[in-house]
Copies of this chain bind each other. A is one copy, B any other.
Amino acid sequence: MPDVTQATDHPRRPGRPRANPATQASGLSTRDQILDAAAALFVEEGFGACTTRQIAERAGIRQASVYYHFASKDEVLLVLLSSSIRPSLAFAVRLREDPDAPDDPAVRLCALVIADVRLLAGARHNIASLYGLPEVQEKAQFAGFRAERHELITVYGDFAGAVVPLVDRTLCGTLVMQLVESVIGLRTADRFRTEYEGDIAKACLRMLGVGDVEIDLAVREARAFLEDPA
């Protein structure tokens, strides 16, 4: 599971209710227990149908604990959604700024695609399947998440534009993001396989017109950087 605790800064409040000892068994903090229970419920039962009481029950804690850590059920969802985007945005910044990051634009794009596929595929619950929720699409409370997702599309467009300079960045960013997000539907249909991460990265580069020899090299270099980024 990605470290969802990094996804937002929520101020600690005084008078924190003690967590039930049962929740400590997993080694997760109470906050992460809540996020994990909520993610499972939202994905399995639906966001609208489930309550903070059910989240608390599933996490084995008191309902007050949920409200100690989060202002509302919406905020729990917002943190979960952001956790499926922010690490990829942060990784893109590193790829741009780290002097040890690969120079070749095709390798950078490839590294970002693979990292993003791993994030979506590796989350314990298929959080990204909630992107289409009407609340997420419409409510002002999720405007921040929508902006982050749009930013990731822009980043993909910039990275694609570095590979193919004359490209329409809006369209290419959208198309690359679409290919990455194929993970969501494949997971829902129980059809995702680990080796698809390389296939999806290759599909992105091939779609941009990169040749097969360069693609194989790019995937190898991107993986090497991901395995040992130092």
Q: CB within 8 Å of B: which residues of A?
A: 46-48, 129, 131-134, 137-138, 150, 168, 170-171, 174-175, 178-179, 181-182, 185-186, 188-189, 191, 196, 199-200, 203, 206-209, 212
Across the interface, do A189 and B134 meet the contact criterion of CB distance under 8 Å? no
Across the interface, do B168 and A199 meet the contact criterion of CB distance under 8 Å? yes
Across the interface, do B199 and A171 meet the contact criterion of CB distance under 8 Å? yes
Residue on B nearest A150 in the bound complex, by CB: B189
Contacts of A179 in B (CB 8 A): 175, 178-179, 207
* Chain A, interface SS category: helix
Q: A48-B48, A134-B133, A181-B178 are in contact. Are A191 and B207 (CB under 8 A)?
A: no
Contacts of A185 in B (CB 8 A): 174, 178
Question: A69 → chain B, closest Cβ, in Å?
Answer: 25
Contacts of A182 in B (CB 8 A): 171, 174-175, 178
Residue on B nearest A209 in the bound complex, by CB: B206
Contacts of A150 in B (CB 8 A): 189
Query: Could you say which of A132, A138, A199 has the most chain B C-beta atoms within 10 Å of its C-beta?
Result: A132
A175 to B207, CA, bound (A): 11
A186 in complex: contacting residue of B138, B174, B196, B203, CB < 8 Å: B174
Q: Could you pull out 29 A-B pairs where Cβ atoms are within 8 angstroms?
A: A46-B134, A46-B138, A47-B134, A48-B48, A48-B134, A129-B137, A132-B132, A133-B134, A150-B189, A168-B199, A170-B186, A171-B182, A171-B196, A174-B182, A174-B186, A174-B191, A175-B179, A175-B182, A175-B203, A178-B178, A178-B179, A178-B181, A178-B185, A179-B179, A203-B207, A206-B206, A206-B207, A206-B209, A207-B207
